[in-house]
Amino acid sequence: MLEVRDLKKYFRGGLLGRRPVKAVDGVSFTINPGYTLGLVGESGAGKSTVGRLVVGLVRPTGGSVFYEGRDVFKARGEEALYLRRKMQIIFQNPQGALNPRMRIGEILSEPLLVHHMVRGRYVRERVADLLEMVGLGPELYHRYPWEMSGGQNQRVAIARALSLEPSFLVLDEPTSALDVSVQAQVFQLLKKIQQEMRLAYLLISHDLDVVFRVADEVAVMHRGRILEQGFASAVAISPRHPYTIRLLSARIAL
Ligand SMILES: Nc1ncnc2c1ncn2[C@@H]1O[C@H](COP(=O)(O)OP(=O)(O)OP(=O)(O)O)[C@@H](O)[C@H]1O
* pLDDT per position as a tens digit, 210-250: 888 899 999 999 999 999 898 877 776 677 778 777 777 76
Q: Which of 21, 50, 91, 226 to mutate to test ligand 1, by most ligand atoms within 8 A of the CB atom?
A: 21
Strands 168-172 and 200-205: parallel
Q: DSSP string covering 110-179, please?
A: HHHHHTT-S-GGGHHHHHHHHHHHTT--GGGGG--GGGS-HHHHHHHHHHHHHTT--SEEEEESTTTTS-
Give the pLDDT confidence of 68-111 residue by residue, as tens digits: 999 999 999 999 999 999 999 999 988 888 999 999 999 999 99
- Cα 200-206-211 angle, rounded to 5 deg: 45
Q: Whose CA is nearest to atom 3 of ligand 1?
A: 11
Rounded to the nearest integer, the mean pLDDT of the chain is 91
- Does ligand 1 lie within 6 Å of residue 220's CB atom? no
Quick one: residue 12, left, alpha or beta (phi over 0 = left, psi -120 to 50 = alpha)? beta
1-18: average pLDDT = 89
20 residue type, one letter: P
pLDDT of res. 237: 66
Distance 184 CA to ligand 1 centre (A): 27
Q: Which of 49, 206, 223 to mutate to test ligand 1, by most ligand atoms within 8 A of the CB atom?
A: 49
Q: For 32, which DSSP code?
A: -
Residue boundaries of the structural domains of the chain: 2-250
Strands 36-41 and 62-67: unpaired
Distance (Å, rounded) from C-alpha 173 to C-alpha 50? Answer: 13
Strands 87-90 and 168-172: parallel
Sign for the CA dihedral angle at 132, 137, 141, 144 comes to: negative
Distance (Å, rounded) from C-alpha 192 to C-alpha 171? Answer: 15
Distance (Å, rounded) from C-alpha 249 to C-alpha 164? Answer: 41
Q: Whose CA is nearest to atom 12 of ligand 1?
A: 23
- Cα 136-137-138 angle, rounded to 5 deg: 125
Sign for the CA dihedral angle at 138, 142, 148, 152 comes to: positive
Is the complex ipTM more than 0.85?
Answer: yes
Q: Whose CA is nearest to atom 16 of ligand 1?
A: 46
Predicted confidence (pLDDT) at residue 251 exceeds the cutoff of 80:
no
Q: Which of 11, 43, 89 to mutate to test ligand 1, by most ligand atoms within 8 A of the CB atom?
A: 11
77 residue type, one letter: G
Q: Assign domain 2-250 one CATH number from 3.40.50.300, 3.40.50.1370, 3.20.20.240, 3.90.1300.10.
A: 3.40.50.300
Give the pLDDT confidence of 154-177 residue by residue, as tens digits: 999 999 999 999 999 999 999 988
Under 8 Å between Cβ of 220 and 40: yes
